[in-house]
Structure 1
């Protein structure tokens, strides 16, 4: 029999790092064309625009952030370099932002199960589908390397420095510094930072998204198995740091470099394997944008939107 104090400590740790599945709210109501993977969304003067994996970066628009209409792709014609990394010209996991008067979109081109991958950059004055100009490759990885150039996310820190986090399996999440003038890799600072991994192969941590709030940087990441329909075990965890380059820790202080991180959202009811997330700042609110697999629709991947609330200790939870 365990001493009472040990049992109590275990219970406290569990409560600090998880939210009971029954307590998770369902995604907010959405309508229209919402079959997506790895969504990223932003509010523009003409309404909301959402981009996602596949096509030439599938696009959807919405006047109200609730009803979405398919609106072509980011690119009408794929850049020539895509075929080097994907025979199907099939890009993944875009990340849209607005900086210095223009829209930027980082995205990955790869093939499933390979780290022969590249992250590209495109820019646009409007963010509209079909308006994007290719700016080339930002970072690439090759077979035999210990990390993977997919799932990019741009962070502009409090000091105005630009960072790109990315990664999947292959030892987890990495980060490089960017040049704000070009959006490409910084010519002088060539450090490859390591933000998150786990001790167990296949080191299933991917899809980073980092936001700054209240003096901390928060790293949201997807853990476990994606893209398997109702067999998906994807879940979202979060850690924080006072520096964009880490170290990031969960609420209990365990480093994300050793598998730590506080559970934010996991399978609950019909909403299977939530992940591929991004965080959108919209009129003073933070919105978690993600996909899940619908248990009532044969595992079809669908758009999930939940508002993020923040507790008194500065930790987020879905609401």
Structure 2
């Protein structure tokens, strides 16, 4: 159920919707301009938030609630990948492997399929410590069925197998095995909606016996210029599988490769277009869903998108915010 903004009749839905979705938890400090956030907590308790823009902006905080402070760009010189967009990097995803931190990022331009997923490495997460390693080998062009952006790393529990899940529009979300710095093997499709290909931004999270594939669906951006029809704005969906390679299905058993997907978080109250999500097992709070969203009380511009987060309850076998 999604609120229809600007229609008087939709206002009557607000009390119902507020029971369906929880409001974002507290965020202090710099909480705007946080498109496609990725967070991680360092061993000393410092939280790091990476986001699209500013050559991957880095913010830190002593707590998930903040106060968040801007620390600089992860790649102040841009990317070494020779593609348009290598000075305007998108969709960061940060992961720790051993004593190294890896930052995946996207090089592309809006609406283009000439794209690549790059990677940088650091031992501390701090601004000024990231070394650009260039392309992972995950690239795309108009001859391929996918777009190589929005990379997310997942490890097959108990093994040394790593997979990069990625994709935006075209023929949906794909996955490929990685080392984790380089591609190995061929990408294969894990999620697609042939009736509405507007899916992107995958995140895979292991909880219990299942691997949960979270993804964003709908129109992500430019709401201040042209808002999409009601129900077509960003929202967070999920499918699951007992295997990291799939197949993934939704709560009704529908294949995620044929339009399946169960709603996790959509527009409600003054929250509009939540997406660009990640899932993180916080050592204090447990599993949390984090994302960007528009606060309709503030404005609809991309630069006004706020950082939101909520705890997730998996007790039913499906994530509930």
- What band does the TM-score fall into relative to the shorter chain? 0.7 to 0.9
Q: Quick check: 2:80–2:132 contact (8 Å CA) kept in 1? A: no
How far has the Cα of 1:229 moved from its partner? 2.5
Task: Please report the TM-score for the alignment, with normalisation by the length of structure 1.
Answer: 0.88
Q: Distance in 1 between matches of 2:307 and 2:219?
A: 18
Tell me what 2:211 maps to: 217
Which residue of the partner structure matches residue 127 of structure 1? 125
Deviating above 4 A after TM superposition, structure 1's stretches of 4 or more consecutive aligned residues are none
CA distance in 1, matches of 2:162, 2:183: 9
Task: Tell me the CA shift for residue 143 of structure 1.
Answer: 2.7
1:63 match: 62
Q: Please report how far the alpha carbon of residue 200 of structure 1 lies from its aligned counterpart in structure 2 after TM superposition.
A: 1.5
Mapped partners of 1:73, 1:22: distance in 2? 37
Match of 1:79 in 2: 79
Which residue number in structure 2 is paired with residue 152 of structure 1?
151
Report the Cα offset of residue 234 of structure 1: 0.2
Q: Which residue of 2 aligns with 1:294?
A: 295
For structure 2, the residue ranges without an aligned partner over 5 or more in a row are: 1-15
CA RMSD of aligned residues (A): 1.4
Deviation at 1:99, TM superposition (A): 0.9
In structure 2, the partner of 1:269 is 269
Cα deviation per residue 1:241-281 (whole Å; 9 max; x = unaligned)?
11111110011101111111110000001110000000111
- Counterpart check, 1:308 vs 2:309: no
Q: Tell whether the 8 Å contact from 1:193 to 1:245 is kept in structure 2 after alignment.
A: no
How much does 1:65 deviate? 1.6
Shift of 1:80: 3.0
Deviation, 1:115, is: 1.0
Equivalent in the alignment of 1:204: 198
Q: Distance in 1 between matches of 2:59 and 2:169?
A: 29
2:25 is aligned with 1:21: no
Counterpart mapping for 1:231-270 below 5 A? 231=227, 233-270=233-270
CA distance in 2, matches of 1:165, 1:21: 31
TM-score norm. by structure 2 comes to 0.87
- What runs of 5+ residues in structure 1 fail to find an aligned partner? 1-19
| 1:29-178 → structure 2 map (5 Å cutoff) | 29-35=26-32, 36-46=34-44, 47-66=46-65, 67-81=67-81, 84-86=83-85, 89-138=87-136, 139-158=138-157, 159-178=159-178
- In the alignment, the residues of structure 2 paired with residue 191 and residue 33 of structure 1 have an alpha-carbon distance, to the nearest angstrom, of 40
